[in-house]
Structure 1
Amino acid sequence: MLPLIGAIAAGNCAILKPSELAPATSHVVAQLVKETFDSRYVAVLESGVEIACVLLTQKFDYIFFTGEIRVGQIVMEAAVKQLTLVTLERGGKSPCIVDRKCVEGTFFD
């Protein structure tokens, strides 16, 4: 979500395409965005690979992609054809560990 914050702060519109491999997270992101932003400025496309491929044929000012190398290569190849600036980021860079003590509320005891 940090790239979205930067895009909005700079006065840009944005389209988010969450991973189809995490449908629950995708749905939460879509709901939050829908409740928070006018869809003319920030939109979420919950879809599969076919819509992602269509998006990559469109002209954007900037693409920020987080994910695996193979898909990043596809994104970069499509962006080059449109001369679109790209940031590619490997997924899973910020793991979170939840300890049972946190869940039970005894972490600080």
Structure 2
Amino acid sequence: QSFLFENLNIKECSSLKTLQNELGYLTSLTTFNTSKCPSLTSLLNELRKLISLTSLNIEWYLSLTILPNKLNNFISLTTLNIECSILASFPNELDNFTSFTTFNISA
């Protein structure tokens, strides 16, 4: 079953620890924004099925230290904005993204 949401914003959910696998059913999702969810420990694995995603914004994600190697699933991604103070590394496959119009990674 699929749902026709195009935008999903999750903000200021201090108790939210994980997103469920059902997030993968949002196959029409083009924009995903999350900010100020300090307890969120798992995120990008649940998003990997969202191949229509064009914009991914992650802010104040305090537990994110490494971006997983599954970013190449986001074949439609044009905007990537990650603001995480403890991000230590990101995968080499970011070189493969030629469609970025906005690319921002900052602390």
TM interval, short-chain normalised: 0.3 to 0.5
TM-score by length of 2: 0.34
Larger radius of gyration: 1
Higher RCO structure, 1 or 2 (CA under 8 Å, sep 6+): 2
Q: TM-score, normalised by structure 1?
A: 0.33
Structure number having the greater helix percentage: 1
